[in-house]
Amino acid sequence: MIPDPGVSDFNIGGRIIPRSAISSAAPTAQLAEAIEHIVDCGNFLLGATLNAARFAETAPPNTRIVEDFQPKLEALTPGGGAYLNEAPLRLANWKESFFGANYDRLTAIKQRYDLEGIFYAPLTVG
C-alpha cells in the first residue's frame, strides 16, 4: 500500500532572481554555484532562466498571446480555464478563466474575511 502523499509528491519552492544578481561576474558566479549545489543535492530546477528580457522585447509576443493565440484557444475549449500563475496579465475574461461560476461567491467570502484588503493581487478575487 502506498502511503498518502498529501497534496504533492514534491516540495516546491521558488525564487525571483533580481537583475542585480547577474549584473557582473562575481554575483553571477555565486548564483551559478548555488544552483549547482541545489542540483548536486538531488533536486532540479524547472523554468529557470538567467537571461531576463526587457519589457520592450517581451511586450509584442505577450500582445500576440492575448490578442491572437488566446482567443483561438478559448473558442476551441469552451468551459476551459487557466492557471492564475500561468496566464497573461491582460487576459480579457480572466474572471471566467480563473474562477468560472465561483467568482461572485469567492468575492463575497473575500469581502467578509479580508476587510482590510490585505490579500490582493491584480487578477485575483476582489
| Average confidence (pLDDT) over 40-65 | 77
Q: What is the pTM of this model?
A: 0.46
Distance between CA atoms of residues 44 and 40, nearest Å = 9
How many independent structural domains does the chain possess? Answer: 2
Residue 82 sits in the same domain as residue 62? yes
Percent of the chain with pLDDT over 70: 79
Q: Which domain holds residue 6?
A: 1-52
**Residue that is last in its domain, among 16, 33, 52:** 52
pLDDT of residue 6: 56
pLDDT of residue 51: 62
Note the maximum CA span of the chain: 54
Residue 44 sits in the same domain as residue 86? no
Residue 4 reports pLDDT greater than 60: no
Q: Is residue 94 part of a domain?
A: yes
Which residues, other chains included, contact 94 with Cβ-Cβ below 8 Å and sequence gap of 6+?
82, 87, 123
Residue 64 sits in the same domain as residue 106? yes
- CA proximity to 97, closest of 115, 65, 74, 121: 74
Please write the tens of the pLDDT for every residue from 67-86.
888 888 888 888 887 776 66
Q: Is residue 120 part of a domain?
A: no
